Amino acid sequence: MNTQFIKTIRMRAFRAVCGLAICVSFLQPCSAEEPPHKHNPVVSKLLGKFCLECHDVATADGEREFESFSLPIKTEQQLITADGIIDQVTLRKMPPADADQPTDKERLVLIGALRDSIQEARDQFESTGSRTIMRRLSNREYENTLATLFDRRVDTLGLTADFPKEETSQHMDNIGESLVTSGFLLDQYFQAASRLVEARLGKPAMKPKSWHFTDNFKQYEELSGSHRSVFKYRYLCLYEQPNTDTRQGGYGHIEDFLAGVPVSGIYDIQVHAQAMHRDTHYDPKIFRIDFSEPFQLAVVPGDVTKGHIHYPQAIEPVLASAVVPDNQPEWLKFRVWLEVGQTPRFIFPNGPYESRASVISVNKRYKHEFKKPDTGVSRKALLREGKLPHIKIGEIKIHGPILEPVGSKEEVAVFGKEGFQEDHALEQLFIFAKKAYRRPLNVSDQRRIKALYEQRLSEQATPRQAALDTLKMILCSPSFLYLSEITPEDERELHPYDLASRLSYALWTAPPDAELFAAAASGRLKEKDELNKQVRRLLKDPRSNEFVNGFLDSWLNLRAIGDLPPPRKAAWEYYAQNLPESMKQEARLFFRSLLDENESVAKFLDADYTFVDKKLANLYRLPEKDTLRLNDGFQRVKLTKTKQRGGLLGMAGVLTVSANGVDTSPVTRGVWVLENIFGTPPPPPPDEVPAIEADVSGATTIRERLAKHSTDQTCYVCHRNIDPHGHALESFDPIGRWRDKYPKPKGKGVGPNVDPTGKLPSGETFTDFTSFKHVLLENRLDQFTFCLIEKLLTYSTGRQMERSDQYEIEDILERVKAEQYGLQTIVIKVMTSQILRSR
C-alpha cells in the first residue's frame, strides 16, 4: 500500500482528533462564587482544638499543615489533605496518645463533614456542567456500527482485539470522560479500517473451489501418538468440550488446510460425523456430561498465525452448530463466513469435561474389560476396545466462496445495488459517508473526500482502489468515530441529527436507520409526538436487544462475569456448562419481558417467575431440570414453589459478579447492592485500613470479624449500612448456588449454618432472603426506581448524572409512579426527557 497515503490518513486523523480534544477542553463551565461552606465552622473548630498545636503554619509537624485548610475543597491538594485527616482520625493515629482526644461523637462529626466535602469536591472536579462532552464510539459501539454499515457481522475479524482496554465509569463503558483517544488507538483505527475494507471489498475475484479431506487428521500433541497407532490419522475425534484446561480434543482442525480459505467469504462445510458411545456403560459421573442429550458439533474459526491451533484464540465466535447422529455417520452441513486465512475448527460444546481425568478414571475402574490388562491403562487400548464417548469425523468437504446473487452485502452497502461505478464514484462515496457520519455532508466533508480520491488517482491507483482508500479515510474520520458534532456549543438542546444518533445509539448501539434519519431531516423528531413514536418503534425492533445487553452489562456489571472465576474443582459446572452465558441471558430475558409487557420494576426486587435453560434449572434445583432439554433453550418458569429465587438478587449472574469467585463477603455484596440497586455507594474505606478477608470456614467467623471491626464507631457508621445488605445474600455461594451451611476449609465437609438475618439502618429487620426482599419492596421501591432512572439516563447520554439533574429525575419518578412503575414507561420517559434531548 502507498506509504505516503498511510501517512496522510494518519496525520489527518491525528490533527482532527487533536482539534476535537482542544474543543472539548473548553466545555467546562465557570462556577459562580460559592457561599460559605456549611461544614467549615465545625471542621475549623475541631482542627483548631485537636490538630493545630502540631500542624499550624509555623510547626507543620510531619510536613502536614492544617491551619490554611478550609472548606469548600477547591484544589487537589486540599482533597489529599482531607483524605489524610480522615485516615488518621479513623485509625486513631492522631491526635497522638498523649494529647487530648476527641470524643466518638466529635470524630464522627469531623469524618462525616470531610467525607461530604470530598464528595462535593469530586462532583465539582468531575462535573461537565450537566453536558455530554463530545465522545468517541466505545469499542462495542464501533464494531456494531461497522456491522450495521456493511450489513455483515465483523466479529470474525476481531477488529478491536488489539485496541487498548477501555476504562469504565461506574461500570458504564460509554462515558465520554473515560473514552480516551491516543495516538496508538488512532493507529489501531486505521489498521482496523484497512483490514475490513481490504478483506471485504478489496479481495480478488475468485471462482468457487472445492476441497475434500479424508485422512491425515492429526490431533493435539498428547493424542497424536495413539491416533497414529490405532487410526493411522484416519479420523478426527473430539473428546471434550473446549472450556477446559487439558485441551485434549477440545479443538479439531484440518491439518492439510492450515493455510485457511484464500479469500473472505461464505463457505459450505460438510462433515461426515457420528456420536460415538453416547450409550456407554461407563459411569456418567466420570465424564460430567448429560448422556440424555444428543452430542453437538459446532464450527469456530482458527488462524495458525494467531496462536496454537488447539488452544482458544482471541477470535473464535461460533459460526454454526448441529446435532450429531448416534446410529451411523451422516453428513452435517454448515454455511459459515470465514475471513481470509481462517480455517474451520470443530468443537464439542456439550462434551465431557477434562478428558485426561476421564481417561485415567476409566482405565483404573474398567481395566478388567480390556483383553490385555497389562497394556490396558492407555489411550490406545481405549480407542481399540473401549467405549469412550466422543465425536468421530471421517470426512470433511469445503466449498466456496459462495457467490451472492446481487453482489456481496458489503458491495451493496457501500456502492449500491449496481456496485462500484467509476463515473459516479464520488457520489457513491458521499452517500456512504452521509450514513457513516450520521448527518448530511457539508462542503468541507465533500472537499476532503474528493481531495483524497483524486490524490490516490494521481498516484496511479485504480479508480476502485482510490475509492476503497477514501473509504478507509471516512472510517478514520472524527465525524465517524465521534458522536455529536452539529449542535452549536452555545445551544443547549440537541439538533435533530444529533438527537437521532443519541436515540439510535442508546437503543440500538448503531447509526439511525432511514426512517429515523428522515424524521431528523424533516425536523419532526423534535416534536413530542414524533419523538415518542420513534422511541416506541426503536424499542419494538429486535435491534433493541443491543440496548438490553449493553445496559445490563453496565448497570449490573454483568460484563465482569468471568473476571474472577471460581476454582475449577469447586465449581466445575461453571466451566463445563458455560454458565456465565446462561447467567447473562436470564437477566436479559427478564428485563426484556418487563420492557415488552410494561411490567412494574418492582419485579426487579421480587418476582414469582424467571427465565432458565436446563443448565440454570439444575443450578437452581428447580423441577424443570428434569423436563427441560438443551434444545428447549430458555423458558419462563414459575417460582411459586421456591423461596430461593425471584428478582435480580436471586439471579446467579448478579450473585456471581458481586462475589470474588473464591468466596463471598457481606461487605462486597453489600457494597454492590448499595451501588447498583439503590445508587448510594458508600465512601471508600480509609487507605490504611486493612481489608476484612472473607472466611469460608463459617458465617460465625465472618460475622464476628465484621462485628469486631465495627466496634470502632468510625467504622460502624459505614458498616451498619453496608453489611446487612450483604448478610441477606449469604445464603448463596460465589456462583449463586443456594446453601444452608458454609463449606469447611479445602472443601472437606460442611461448616456452620449460614445466618442471613440482619437489621437495616432504618430499623427494619429480616430473617432470610425472602423477608429481605419484602423489606426492600415495601420500603425501598422509590429509591430503587430513582436509581434505575439515573442509570438509564447515564447510559443513554454518555455522562454521569449530576446534582442539577436530580430535579428532572425526581419528576420522571413521580410520573412513572402514577403509571404503576412500568419499565417501558420509564424507558420512554427517559428517552424523551429534557436531559436526553440536551447537550
What pLDDT, in 10s, does the model give residues 121-152?
A: 766 655 555 666 788 999 999 999 999 999 99
> Residues with Cβ < 8 Å from 145, sequence gap 6 or more?
137, 509, 510, 511
Q: At 232, is the secondary structure helix, strand, or coil?
A: coil
Query: Strand (E) positions, 570-698?
Result: 609-612, 635-638
Least confident span in 3-7, 504-508, 799-803? 3-7
Report the C-alpha gap between 593 and 52 in whole angstroms: 61
Question: Which has the closest alpha carbon to 277: 349, 394, 372, 382?
Answer: 382
Cβ burial of 780 (10 Å; 0-12, 13-18, 19+) is middle
| 124 CA to centre of own chain | 29
Report the C-alpha gap between 477 and 436 in whole angstroms: 10
Q: Is residue 747 part of a domain?
A: no
> Residues with Cβ < 8 Å from 360, sequence gap 6 or more?
none
Mean pLDDT of 73-85: 76
Would you state the cell numbers that stand for residue 798, as one nine-digit string? 454518555
Name the strand (E) or helix (H) holding 376: helix 373-376
Report the C-alpha gap between 361 and 363 in whole angstroms: 5
Tens digits of per-residue pLDDT, 473-512?
Answer: 999 999 999 997 788 888 889 999 999 999 999 999 999 9
Q: How many CB atoms lie within 10 A of CB 236?
A: 27
Whole-angstrom CA distances from 383 to 246, 277, 363, 368 are 18, 11, 12, 16
218 with 189, same domain? no
Cis peptide before 623 (omega within 30 of 0): no
329 with 389, same domain? yes
457, pLDDT greater than 70: yes
Report the C-alpha gap between 625 and 124 in whole angstroms: 52
- Find out whether 72 and 66 touch, Cβ atoms under 8 Å: no
Q: Is residue 839 part of a domain?
A: no
Mean pLDDT of 21-25: 40
Q: Is residue 339 part of a domain?
A: yes
625, pLDDT greater than 90: yes
Report the C-alpha gap between 254 and 735 in whole angstroms: 37
Q: Is residue 528 part of a domain?
A: no
466, pLDDT greater than 90: yes
355, pLDDT greater than 70: yes
347 beta partners: 298
Report the C-alpha gap between 108 and 502 in whole angstroms: 44
Report the C-alpha gap between 197 and 453 in whole angstroms: 15
Indicate the residue among 400, 424, 459 that finishes a domain: 400
Tens digits of per-residue pLDDT, 403-452?
Answer: 998 889 999 999 999 999 999 999 999 999 999 999 999 999 999 999 99
- Find out whether 156 and 342 touch, Cβ atoms under 8 Å: yes
472, pLDDT greater than 80: yes
Q: What is the largest CA-CA distance in the chain?
A: 93
pLDDT at residue 666, as a whole number: 84
Mapped to the 3 state alphabet, what secondary structure does 753-770 carry? ECCCCEECCCCCEECCHH
392 with 310, same domain? yes
91 beta partners: none
Report the C-alpha gap between 20 and 180 in whole angstroms: 12
Number of domains in the chain: 5
Indicate the residue among 400, 433, 468 that finishes a domain: 400
Name the strand (E) or helix (H) holding 116: helix 104-126
Report the C-alpha gap between 203 and 288 in whole angstroms: 45
Least confident span in 111-115, 199-203, 487-491? 111-115
Report the C-alpha gap between 470 and 446 in whole angstroms: 11
Give the pLDDT band (50/70/90) at residue 30.
Answer: very low
Q: Side chain identity at 273, as an amino acid letter?
A: A
Report the C-alpha gap between 306 and 318 in whole angstroms: 17
332 with 447, same domain? no
Name the strand (E) or helix (H) holding 825: helix 823-831
Upper half-sphere CA count for residue 833 (Cβ side, 13 Å): 27
Report the C-alpha gap between 683 and 241 in whole angstroms: 44
629 beta partners: none
Q: What is the DSSP letter of 331?
A: E
Question: Which has the closest alpha carbon to 791: 783, 120, 652?
Answer: 783
Mapped to the 3 state alphabet, what secondary structure does 793-820 carry? HHHHHCCCCCHHHHHHHHHHHHHHHCCC
Mean pLDDT of 513-531: 96
pLDDT at residue 252, as a whole number: 95
630, pLDDT greater than 50: yes
Report the C-alpha gap between 832 and 526 in whole angstroms: 10
Return the exposure string of 487-497: e unless at least 16 CB atoms fall within 10 Å of the residue's CB, then b: beeeeeebbbb
145 with 14, same domain? yes
Torsion of CA 20, 26, 29, 31, to 10 degrees: 150
Report the C-alpha gap between 742 and 751 in whole angstroms: 5
43, pLDDT greater than 70: yes
Q: At 459, is the secondary structure helix, strand, or coil?
A: coil
Question: Which has the closest alpha carbon to 582: 365, 369, 708, 736?
Answer: 736
803, pLDDT greater than 50: yes
Q: Side chain identity at 612, as an amino acid letter?
A: V
456 with 388, same domain? no
Cβ burial of 257 (10 Å; 0-12, 13-18, 19+) is middle
335 beta partners: 268
395 beta partners: 272
169 beta partners: 172
* CATH assignment at residue 301: 2.60.120.260
Q: Is residue 72 part of a domain?
A: yes
86 with 145, same domain? no
Mapped to the 3 state alphabet, what secondary structure does 78-95 carry? HHHHHHHHHHHHHCCCCC
- Find out whether 624 and 608 touch, Cβ atoms under 8 Å: no
635 with 608, same domain? yes
Q: Is residue 554 part of a domain?
A: no
Whole-angstrom CA distances from 818 to 452, 597, 808, 823, 825 are 57, 17, 16, 13, 10
265 beta partners: 338
pLDDT at residue 42, as a whole number: 79
Phi (first) and psi of residue 169, to 5 degrees: -120, 110
| Domain with 802 in it | 780-831
Would you state the cell numbers that stand for residue 37, as one nine-digit string? 461552606
pLDDT at residue 38, as a whole number: 74
45 with 20, same domain? no
Indicate the residue among 98, 126, 154 that finishes a domain: 126
Report the C-alpha gap between 737 and 620 in whole angstroms: 7
Report the C-alpha gap between 765 and 761 in whole angstroms: 9
Mean pLDDT of 518-538: 97
535, pLDDT greater than 60: yes
Q: Is residue 773 part of a domain?
A: no
Would you state the cell numbers that stand for residue 203, as one nine-digit string? 479481495
232, pLDDT greater than 50: yes
286, pLDDT greater than 50: yes
Question: Which has the closest alpha carbon to 146: 436, 370, 411?
Answer: 436
Write down how long the chain is.
839
Mean pLDDT taken over the chain: 87
pLDDT at residue 21, as a whole number: 43
55 with 72, same domain? yes
Mean pLDDT of 153-176: 93
Mean pLDDT of 668-681: 90
350 with 280, same domain? yes
- Find out whether 50 and 89 touch, Cβ atoms under 8 Å: no
For residues 739 and 69, the model is more confident at: 739
Q: Is residue 690 part of a domain?
A: no
Tens digits of per-residue pLDDT, 545-590?
Answer: 999 999 999 999 999 998 888 888 888 889 989 999 999 999 999 9
Give percent of the chain above pLDDT 90. 61
Tens digits of per-residue pLDDT, 679-736?
Answer: 888 766 665 555 555 443 443 556 655 555 455 555 656 667 788 888 899 999 999 9
| 230 CA to centre of own chain | 45
157 with 242, same domain? no
